[in-house]
């Protein structure tokens, strides 16, 4: 399968060569693209102590990695930590949030054999840690060939992913077995990994790193951002995180109805922030005045669009009610634990397939509400708005449910120590 993979790459090379001049002409893309081919990497021996290479795909994975990165820096102050991300937004977030705790932030290599070998030779890692996903055959095979231990942390397998992995089992089974250790978020994901044919002794259930919200991210008594701080103390903030097209219309429709009856402020954080302008226009179609978070003033508006990266987890701490996006449309949902960690009463739709075990646990603890559609969303929001006691008790249950995830960081550190 790997031979076929590299053959397809070779046959596709002319297309890449045709696209390169266009990409290199765009200053915003040029530096990252050159980095992905190995430009600017320090030479061998440039790093001191043991070298730990941590990789995260995009914004969500970078956020998951941050508590572990901080813990590793504290645990291994004299060793080198290299952090990479694949997407532009992931790199941007890593350069602001992760950079203070690591020795270098780099763009992830393209999975072309000579490039991958160049990266491994230059970085000379003693350990490779992959956060959640972004499985690349050449990298994992070459790390194994170089006797570099590889660890998957915060791993998860949704029902949708499982079907894909089973369909292409000849590719994924040997790929997953290249890991020395696979640390999964849930028992169900661990069982799925074993079902795929991964050696049982490599798979562990360690919980979800997103449950770990460092104290310094939002100190007690900290103030809301200026764009959200102009609200009256009585006004309730409904924060909708990681929203997608198709459900935003439902959220604005509910906001339009609720604004006539209650003193509320609606905030939407689109999954892709480049859609922020689109959401401003959509809010206007529902007769809702809206502003961007970066405009620093609500000025009596009904809606704030969160147009920044990496702030959602902290913003949940100022919300009275949280809605988890990607769940009213078939996108698989997003992780509700950031909201739970901030004692938010949580709502989500029927499509939480990617976080089924976590959402089921929240429902079993009566820490969340699952709605079917716009009508049930409106009804449930009405109930929460009208009952401070319901908001408080549901929020406390969500916090307790998040705490039950256990001492995730210490469990990860103990296993990582064994591989160094």
Residues marked active site are found at: 61
Q: Which positions ≥6 away from 389 have C-beta within 8 Å?
A: none
H-helix or E-strand spanning residue 4: helix 2-24
Q: How far apart are the first and last CA of the chain?
A: 31
Residue 78: phi and psi, rounded to 5, are -100, 0
> In degrees rounded to 5, what are phi and psi of residue 352?
-115, 35
Other Cβ atoms less than 10 A from the Cβ of 68: the count is: 21
Cβ-contact 165, 158 below 8 angstroms: no
List the structure tokens of 177: 């077995």
- Dihedral Cα 299, 300, 302, 307, nearest 10 deg: 10
Phi-psi region of 61 (alpha: psi -120 to 50; beta: other; left: phi over 0): alpha
d(CA 288, CA 285): 7
183 touches 415 (CB < 8 A): yes
Q: DSSP H helical segments within 109-247, as ranges?
A: 113-123, 137-145, 159-167, 169-176, 187-195, 226-229
Look at phi and psi of residue 172 and say left if phi exceeds 0, alpha if psi is from -120 to 50, else beta. alpha
């Amino acid at each position: 399968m790997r031979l076929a993979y590299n053959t397809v790459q070779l046959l596709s090379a002319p297309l890449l060569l045709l696209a390169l001049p266009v990409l290199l002409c765009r200053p915003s893309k040029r530096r990252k693209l050159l980095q992905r081919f190995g430009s600017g990497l320090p030479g061998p021996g440039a790093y001191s102590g043991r070298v730990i290479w941590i990789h995260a795909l995009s914004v969500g994975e970078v956020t998951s990695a941050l508590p572990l990165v901080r813990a590793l820096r504290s645990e291994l102050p004299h060793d080198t930590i290299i952090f990479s991300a694949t997407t532009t937004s992931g790199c941007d977030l890593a350069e602001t949030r992760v950079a203070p705790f690591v020795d270098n932030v780099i763009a992830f290599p393209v999975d072309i054999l000579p490039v991958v070998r160049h990266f491994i030779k230059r970085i000379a890692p003693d350990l490779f840690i992959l956060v959640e996903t972004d499985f690349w055959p050449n990298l994992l095979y070459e790390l194994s060939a170089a006797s570099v231990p590889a660890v998957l942390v915060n791993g998860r397998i949704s029902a949708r992913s499982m079907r894909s992995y089973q369909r292409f089992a000849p590719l994924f089974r040997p790929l997953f077995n290249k890991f020395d250790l696979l640390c999964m978020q849930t028992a169900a994901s661990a069982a799925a990994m074993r079902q795929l044919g991964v050696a049982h002794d490599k798979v562990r259930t360690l919980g979800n790193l997103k449950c770990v919200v460092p104290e310094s991210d939002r100190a007690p008594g900290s103030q809301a951002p200026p764009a959200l701080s102009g609200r009256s103390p009585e006004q309730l903030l409904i924060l909708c995180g990681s929203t997608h097209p198709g459900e935003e219309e439902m959220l604005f429709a509910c906001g339009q109805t609720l604004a006539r009856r209650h003193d509320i402020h609606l905030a939407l954080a689109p999954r892709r922030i480049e859609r922020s302008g689109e959401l401003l226009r959509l809010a206007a179609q529902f007769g809702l005045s809206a502003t961007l978070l970066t405009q620093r003033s609500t000025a009596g508006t009904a809606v704030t669009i969160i147009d920044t990266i990496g702030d959602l987890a902290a913003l949940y701490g100022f919300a009275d009610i949280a809605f988890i996006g990607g769940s009213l449309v078939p996108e698989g949902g997003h992780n509700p634990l950031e909201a739970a960690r901030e004692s938010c009463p949580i709502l989500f739709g029927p499509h939480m397939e990617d976080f089924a075990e976590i959402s089921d646990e929240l429902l079993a603890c009566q820490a969340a509400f699952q709605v079917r559609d716009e009508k049930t969303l409106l009804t449930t929001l009405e109930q929460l708005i009208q009952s401070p006691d319901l908001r408080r008790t549901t929020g406390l249950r969500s916090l307790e449910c998040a705490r039950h995830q256990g001492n995730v960081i210490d469990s990860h550190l103990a296993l990582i120590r064994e591989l160094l």
